[in-house]
Amino acid sequence: MHSIDRLRGALAVTLFVCAGCPHYLGPREPDQYDGCASNEHWVTFDRVEKAATVDGTRAPWFTAPAAGATVPGAPSPRFAWQPSPSATGRDFGDATCAQCTICGQLAAQHLPPITGTVYDLQLTVDEAIEWRVLSTLQVWTPPDDLWASWRGKQVSLRAWELPLDDNQATMGVFTSASPLVFEVAQ
175-180 long-range contacts (CB < 8 A, ≥24 apart) are 175/49, 175/52, 175/53, 175/54, 175/59, 175/60, 176/54, 176/55, 176/56, 176/59, 176/60, 176/61, 177/54, 177/56, 179/124, 180/62, 180/65, 180/67, 180/156
pLDDT-derived band of residue 15, with 50, 70 and 90 as boundaries?
A: very low
Q: Which among 1, 38, 58, 46 has a CA at the least distance from the CA of 21?
A: 46
Per-residue pLDDT tens digits for 141-152: 999 999 999 999
Identify the H or E element spanning 34.
strand 32-34
Q: How far is CA 1 from the centre of its chain?
A: 32
Residue 63 has pLDDT above 90, yes or no: yes
Distance in angstroms between the alpha carbons of the first and the last residue of the chain: 44
Q: What is the mean pLDDT of residues 58-80?
A: 95
Q: What is the mean pLDDT of residues 70-87?
A: 95
Mean pLDDT is highest, among 9-13, 41-45, 51-55, 71-75, for 71-75
Residue 51 has pLDDT above 80, yes or no: yes
Please report, to the nearest 10 degrees, the dihedral formed by the alpha carbons of residues 3, 168, 89, 34 taken in order. Answer: 0
Q: What is the mean pLDDT of residues 43-56?
A: 87
Phi-psi region of 35 (alpha: psi -120 to 50; beta: other; left: phi over 0): left
- Say what the pLDDT of residue 100 is: 53
Per-residue pLDDT tens digits for 24-46: 345 689 999 999 898 888 888 88
Q: Are 107 and 35 in contact (CB under 8 A)?
A: yes
The residue count of the chain comes to 186
pTM of the model: 0.79
Q: Higher confidence at residue 128 or residue 50?
A: 128
d(CA 58, CA 108): 28
